[in-house]
A and B are shown apart, each in its own frame.
Chain A
Amino acid sequence: MLDARKDDQPLVSVRDLKMHFPIYAGLLRRRVGEVKAVDGVSFDVMEGETLGLVGESGCGKSTCGRAVLRLYDITSGSITIDDREIGTTPQNQLRTMRPTMQMVFQDPQASLNPRMTVEAIIKEPLDEHTSMSDVEKREKVGELMDAVGLNRKFAKRYPHAFSGGQRQRIGIARALALNPKFIVCDEPIAALDVSIQAQVVNLLEDLQEQFGLTYLFISHDLSMVRHIATRVAVMYLGKIVELAPREALYAEPLHPYTQALLSAVPEPDPSLEGKVERIILQGDVPSPSNPPQGCNFCTRCPAVMDICQTDEPAYREVRPGRFTACHLYNDNNNAAG
C-alpha cells in the first residue's frame, strides 16, 4: 500500500475542511449560530515533510489539527490520509486507521492520565491495536523510552513525578508506539521552558529522520516553525491565508497578514533592530461566529481595497508552490508583493 503511492502524491490531503461548532442560546437552547473555527481549509502534506501551521491564538490551528485526525466529527470537507478517505467515516470504523495517525498534545501534564504509570500510558496503544504478549509489550515500551530519551528505570513511575520536558517525551513515545506515518504536533513546545523547547524539537527532528515521520506542526512560535518546517501555512480566522515553502515565506511574505505576523518576530541583532519595520495591525480579530463579509482580513488589512469588502478572495497558487488568498494578486502571477 505504501509503495503503491507515487512520490508526488501527498500522504495527507485536506480539501475544504470545515469545522463549525454550534452555539445554543435562549430558554429553549435553540441553535442561534455557529463558531466557524475552521472554515474551508485545504492543504497537502507530502510524505516525510513537516508542514508548519502558524497563526495567532484562536485562529483555529488546534481545531484544524484535531479535525484532520477526526477527533471531531467535521462539518464538511474531505480528508485523505495514506490513500484512505476518512472525512465522513464513522468513529468506530476509524479505529483501524488510528495507528497510522497520531497526535502529540500541547499540555504534557493534561495529556497523561495521572492514575496510570508511564509504562501503562505508553503501552495503551499496543494494548488496543496489537496482540503482543506482555513481555513483548514491555520490551517495546523500553525501546520507545530509549528512543525518546527517557530512562527505562522510570517505567513504573507516575506522570506527576516527571518534569514538563520529560512528560512531553512520554507523550511522544505514546504517539510513536504504533509506528505511525503521520503525527500532528499540537503546539508540543508551547508549555515548555525555552531550554527544553530546543531539546524536544531536536528530538522530534531526530525521530523524523529515524522513523520517516510526517508532521503537521502547529505552533505560534514563528522562529521555531522556521527551524523545523519544510513548508509553512499561515491561518487567520479559520482560513489558510498563505502556504509557501519555508524560505520563500520568510524571505518574501505575500499576504499582508503574513507580512504583519513576520514583522512581529523580534530581531536578535541589536544593530539591525532599529531597521525592522513593524507592521502593527489595528483592531481585534473579528469573532469567528460572525466573520466579516468578503475577505476575513479586510477589517484590519493595511492594503485593503474595495473588492476586499465584498468578494471573498480565492485560495490559489499565485506562484509555483506558493498559495495565497488575497485580491492583491488577482491580475497576474507577477503582481508586486
Chain B
Amino acid sequence: MTDSLPQRPAKPVLTAGDSSAPLTVEKTRSQWADVWDQFKTHKGAVFGLGFLIFITLFVTVGPMIWGVDPGKLDIRNKDVRPIYIALMDSNAKVSWANPMGTDNLGRDIMANIMQGGRISLAVGWTAMILTLFLGTTIGVLAGYFRRLDGILMRFTDLVLALPLLPLLLVMMLLFRDPLRAAFGPENGIFILIVVGIGITSWMHTARIVRGDVMALKEREFVLAARSIGTPARRMITRHLLPNVLSPIMVSATLGLATAIITESALSFLGLGFPSDFPTWGKILFDSVDRMTSFPERVIWPGLAISLTVLSVNYIGDGLRDALDPRIRGL
C-alpha cells in the first residue's frame, strides 16, 4: 500500500444510519420550540389557550376599560336585564349602561364578573399550585424512599378520611380573625382559602404520583442511573419527575376546577370572602333563588367557571402530549 492512503482505524465499526451524510448535528432547535409545534396540532388545546388568555385579559384589563365600581349600589336601576333580552321582549328593562344587567341591589353584573373572576382565578391557580407542590413532593418522597412510604401514606390516608367541609369550616373559624388582623381582610381570607383548599386536596395527586414513582423506580433506566452513581435528588429531578409529568398534569387541570368550585361552596356557606366581595361562585350562589326570573345571573358566572375549567383541561391535555417525546414524534 502507498503512503498516501489516509489513516483508517484498524476495524471500522458499522455506522448506523447514512454515514455518507454530512456529520452535523441535526437542527439544534430548542426543546420548547418542538413542544410548541406539537401543542399547536392539538386543536382543543389551542382553543383552550385562546379562551384562557381571553378570560385572563377580561378580568385583569377589563375593569380598567369598564370603569364601573362592582360594589356600587344603584337601587333605582336594580334588576336590569341584559341588553340582548330587548331583542325578544321589547318591554324588558334594559340599559346600555349595564349591558349584562344589574342584580337585585343594582350592582353591575359585568363589573362583578370581572372582579369575581380575578378572585376566582387567583384562588384557583394558587390553590392548584399549592396542591400540586404538596401532592408531588409527598408522592415522590413516599414512592422513592421506602422508609418514608409507610408514614407518609398513612398520613395521606388520615387526611383523606377527614371530612373536607367541616375541616374547612373549623379552619375558617379558628384562623380567620388572626389572619385578617395580620394581612388585612381580603388578603387574610385569600390566604386562608388557598391554604385550606391546598392542604385538603393534595392527597389524590400524592397517591397517583407515588404509584407511578414506585413503578418507574423498578425500570431499568433508573437502575442504569444508579449504576452511574446518580444521587437520589438528581434521580428524582432527572428521571422520575419528567416521567410522572402526565398524571401530574391531569391532576393539575382537575385541581384548578376543584379549587374554583370549593371556593364557590365556601362562599355559598358564608365562610369565604366577605359578602360585598364578589367571586364567580358567590355571584352564582347569590342568584340561585331567583334563577327562574333572571337566568342570566346564573348562566354568566356558571359559563365562566365551566369554560375556564374546560379550557384548562384541554390545555393540560395538549401539554401532556406535547411534553411526551414519543407522541411528539422526534
Q: Mark A93-132, 1 if CB is under 8 A from B, else 0.
A: 0111011011101110011111110000000110011000
Min distance, Cβ B18 to any Cβ of chain A, angstroms: 7
A169 within 8 A of B: yes
| Among A99, A128, A150, A155, contact of B16 (Cβ-Cβ < 8 Å) | A150
Expressed in whole angstroms, the Cα–Cα distance for A199 and B11 within the complex equals 13
Contact A128/B230 with A153-B23, A156-B28, A158-B326 known, Cβ cut-off 8 Å: yes
Note all chain A residues with C-beta closer than 8 A to B221.
Answer: 110-113
Interface members, chain B 1-36 (any A CB < 8 Å): 11, 13-19, 21, 23-29
The reply to whether A71 and B226 form a contact with Cβ atoms under 8 Å apart is yes
The reply to whether B326 and A151 form a contact with Cβ atoms under 8 Å apart is no
Expressed in whole angstroms, the Cα–Cα distance for A212 and B27 within the complex equals 35
The reply to whether B16 and A165 form a contact with Cβ atoms under 8 Å apart is yes
Among B221, B245, B330, chain A packs the most CB atoms within 10 A around the CB of B221
The reply to whether A149 and B15 form a contact with Cβ atoms under 8 Å apart is yes
Total number of residue pairs linking A and B with CB closer than 8 Å? 123
B164 within 8 A of A: no
The reply to whether B220 and A98 form a contact with Cβ atoms under 8 Å apart is no
Min distance, Cβ A228 to any Cβ of chain B, angstroms: 15
B93 within 8 A of A: no
Q: How many residues of chain B are within 8 Å of chain A by beta carbon? A: 38
Min distance, Cβ A147 to any Cβ of chain B, angstroms: 7
Min distance, Cβ B183 to any Cβ of chain A, angstroms: 40
Note all chain A residues with C-beta closer than 8 A to B19.
Answer: 151
Expressed in whole angstroms, the Cα–Cα distance for A149 and B15 within the complex equals 4
The reply to whether B224 and A105 form a contact with Cβ atoms under 8 Å apart is yes
Q: Mark A214-253, 1 if CB is under 8 A from B, else 0.
A: 0000000000000000000000000000000000000000
Question: A115 — nearest CB in chain B belongs to which residue?
Answer: B242
Question: B221 — nearest CB in chain A belongs to which residue?
Answer: A113
Among B17, B227, B231, chain A packs the most CB atoms within 10 A around the CB of B227
Note all chain A residues with C-beta closer than 8 A to B173.
Answer: none
The reply to whether B228 and A151 form a contact with Cβ atoms under 8 Å apart is no
The reply to whether A199 and B14 form a contact with Cβ atoms under 8 Å apart is yes
Question: B13 — nearest CB in chain A belongs to which residue?
Answer: A149
Question: A170 — nearest CB in chain B belongs to which residue?
Answer: B16
The reply to whether A103 and B23 form a contact with Cβ atoms under 8 Å apart is no
The reply to whether A129 and B243 form a contact with Cβ atoms under 8 Å apart is no
Note all chain B residues with C-beta closer than 8 A to A209.
Answer: 11
Contact A129/B13 with A105-B223, A153-B25 known, Cβ cut-off 8 Å: no
The reply to whether B16 and A157 form a contact with Cβ atoms under 8 Å apart is no
Note all chain A residues with C-beta closer than 8 A to B11.
Answer: 206, 209
A87 within 8 A of B: no
Expressed in whole angstroms, the Cα–Cα distance for A99 and B220 within the complex equals 18
The reply to whether A149 and B16 form a contact with Cβ atoms under 8 Å apart is yes
| Among A103, A149, A202, contact of B227 (Cβ-Cβ < 8 Å) | A103
Interface members, chain B 224-238 (any A CB < 8 Å): 224-231, 234, 238
Expressed in whole angstroms, the Cα–Cα distance for A297 and B219 within the complex equals 32
| Among B229, B238, B330, contact of A95 (Cβ-Cβ < 8 Å) | B229
Of all A-B residue pairs in the complex, the 3 with the closest CB atoms, nearest first, are A98-B229, A151-B17, A158-B325
Q: What are 16 A-B pairs at a CB distance below 8 A?
A: A98-B227, A99-B229, A101-B227, A103-B223, A106-B220, A114-B243, A116-B238, A128-B230, A149-B13, A151-B17, A151-B23, A154-B26, A158-B325, A158-B330, A160-B325, A199-B14
Q: A152-B24, A153-B21, A165-B16 are in contact. List 12 more A-B contacts (CB 8 A).
A: A105-B223, A105-B224, A106-B220, A113-B239, A113-B243, A147-B13, A150-B17, A151-B17, A153-B24, A154-B16, A156-B29, A158-B325
Which B residues are within 8 Å of any A CB, using their own CB? 11, 13-19, 21, 23-29, 219-221, 223-231, 234, 238-239, 242-243, 245, 324-326, 330
